[in-house]
Amino acid sequence: MKKQRNIQVDQKDSLSWHDWRYYPPWNYQHRSGSRKPRNFRHIVLNNGAHDSVGGQPTVGLQTDIPSIARACGYEKALSVRTVEELRSVLLETEKRYGPILIEARLCKGARPDLGRPRTSPIENKIAFMKTLRSDMEIYVK
């Protein structure tokens, strides 16, 4: 039986928006780093802005997320800026043990016709997982 890879995709705001009194930032990164789940991949999407609520800038691009992840015990942590870099890193880390964090530094902005979601979070999850499965076949072959 093939061992499953666990992939968590976050936006950079989920790392910093929590109320520090109740949810210390990087808490789950620290747990993931200290427990060393070998099959864990953590992808953080970082565009340095709150695009969905007006595009206000954040300190996301001034924060060294990979260094924080390494300090929390991740085996490897790095940033990518292009689709080609992301593909290369995914292939490079496929056979490595984790936890591994990949920060994807994205351009600010959204499509002008981007509306509000019309599907439920569960429907989004299922569609996203189908896309990942079909895209990962490209990397595995």
Domains of the chain in sequence order: 6-110 (3.40.50.970)
Rounded distance, CA 15 to CA 114, Å?
Answer: 24
Task: Name the amino acid, one letter, at 65.
Answer: I
Rounded distance, CA 116 to CA 110, Å?
Answer: 12
Per the confidence metrics, is the pTM higher than 0.75?
Answer: no
Partners of 103 in beta bridges: 44, 79
Phi then psi for residue 37, to 5 deg, are -65, 115
Give me 138's structure tokens.
């490209």
Per residue in 61-105, pLDDT (tens digit) is 888 989 988 988 899 999 999 999 999 998 898 888 889 999 999
Per residue in 113-123, pLDDT (tens digit) is 877 778 888 89
Sign of CA dihedral 82, 79, 14, 43: positive
